[in-house]
Copies of this chain bind each other. A is one copy, B any other.
């Protein structure tokens, strides 16, 4: 809860589908759980359909509505624009908002192309000089377990990091009759599993290591090349309509990578791992220990201390639910589980804290661009017989 005297932070959000609902939880809940230096107000939600946006505003708790996102940019009473649209609109909205003096929170991936992302970084750099903050929403950094893993690696608890294996496994479109939603069309989504879920593991791996991927070799595959045209689409779920259309993005993307500091890694993003619902998994092996995380057990960290005597060493299941753990002193007594949406509450907490205190926020747009460059290099490699591609820095 913020003190009555805390300055207001008036938020305008664009989009009200899956991410719009998730960000709304963040804005609504963060001030009731954490002490924040500013008081966020859920001011305006924007969407093209007046009835739908009005219903969303009532449901999600926004005070006002707009049917054109440009209104948020031009109004004086909006301090921050939260971009929750499909990726093809990110650049236009975020740049306009930054140029209009707003802070920006933009969902991941930052953009659908490196060129767009570069333009966004330029806008963010210019805005930073005016004191504005721009952040990209890689929310999985903000779970207590991943935050703890990052702290441990930064402290040197794992020693020299040697290897990473990262997977984001889903099975949402294994059925060839799953319709051709916008996420399966290159012009709207940029790429398939690679950009949607691969972006998460690239960001998370780099975040955990505090290091960057400098080169990759990739392989992409589209298993189901034609799908029924949807009548109505929302994310990956859609209702089948008439006729079929071409899937123009990858169903699965595999790549190997080298980090600047010498570690190597394997990465896999797929929507065809039958039975895996939301298995973002990452394991980091260092000379002194290892740590592993699985989003399907998001309150846990698996940790191996290599300095233990051999008789008692073993991967331990750390329940990251204690008051001593990141974010948790504000929540419940020991041993109480958090859920997926808490990552958005923490994202808002950290963003509002950074704005209110003038401290840097991460992931910045520059970090979002760098992830985009990794994804771009994977696609280039995949298109060139998996030959090694350096990631421009």
Interface residues of A (CB under 8 A from B): 1, 4, 18, 22, 28, 32, 55, 58-61, 148, 152, 158, 162-163, 165, 167, 170-172, 174, 176, 217, 219, 221, 223, 235-237, 252, 254-256, 258, 262, 264-266, 268, 270, 272-279, 283, 285-290, 295-298, 301, 303-306, 309-319, 321-325, 332-342, 381, 385-388
Shortest A239–chain B CB gap in Å is 14
Asked if A385 and B385 make an inter-chain contact with CB atoms under 8 angstroms apart, the answer reads: no
Asked if A313 and B254 make an inter-chain contact with CB atoms under 8 angstroms apart, the answer reads: no
In the complex, chain B residues whose CB is within 8 Å of the CB of A172? 333-334
A158 to B237, CA, bound (A): 23
Shortest A222–chain B CB gap in Å is 11
A34 to B174, CA, bound (A): 30
* Nearest CB in chain B to that of A176: its residue: B287
Asked if B318 and A314 make an inter-chain contact with CB atoms under 8 angstroms apart, the answer reads: yes
Asked if A162 and B223 make an inter-chain contact with CB atoms under 8 angstroms apart, the answer reads: yes
Asked if A221 and B313 make an inter-chain contact with CB atoms under 8 angstroms apart, the answer reads: no
4 tightest CB-CB pairs across the interface, nearest first? A277-B335, A278-B335, A275-B304, A339-B339
Asked if A336 and B340 make an inter-chain contact with CB atoms under 8 angstroms apart, the answer reads: yes
> Could you say how many copies of this chain the assembly holds?
4
Asked if B148 and A311 make an inter-chain contact with CB atoms under 8 angstroms apart, the answer reads: yes
- B265, B275, B278, B337: the one contacting A340 at CB < 8 Å is B337
- B255, B315, B332, B385: the one contacting A317 at CB < 8 Å is B315
A254 to B256, CA, bound (A): 7
Known contacts A4-B58, A278-B334; 8 additional CB pairs below 8 A are A152-B312, A165-B167, A171-B306, A275-B289, A275-B314, A276-B290, A336-B339, A381-B386
A325 to B310, CA, bound (A): 8
In the complex, chain B residues whose CB is within 8 Å of the CB of A381? 386
Asked if A219 and B277 make an inter-chain contact with CB atoms under 8 angstroms apart, the answer reads: no
- B32, B170, B268, B341: the one contacting A61 at CB < 8 Å is B32
Of A158, A279, A295, A313, the most chain B CB neighbours within 10 A belong to: A313
In the complex, chain B residues whose CB is within 8 Å of the CB of A262? 223
Give 6 pairs: A residue, B residue, CB < 8 Å, sorted on A: A165-B167, A217-B256, A219-B256, A274-B290, A336-B341, A337-B340
Asked if A268 and B266 make an inter-chain contact with CB atoms under 8 angstroms apart, the answer reads: yes
In the complex, chain B residues whose CB is within 8 Å of the CB of A60? 32
In the complex, chain B residues whose CB is within 8 Å of the CB of A279? 335
Asked if A163 and B236 make an inter-chain contact with CB atoms under 8 angstroms apart, the answer reads: no
In the complex, chain B residues whose CB is within 8 Å of the CB of A61? 32
Asked if A272 and B285 make an inter-chain contact with CB atoms under 8 angstroms apart, the answer reads: yes
A159 to B174, CA, bound (A): 11
In the complex, chain B residues whose CB is within 8 Å of the CB of A236? 333
Shortest A165–chain B CB gap in Å is 7
Shortest A33–chain B CB gap in Å is 8
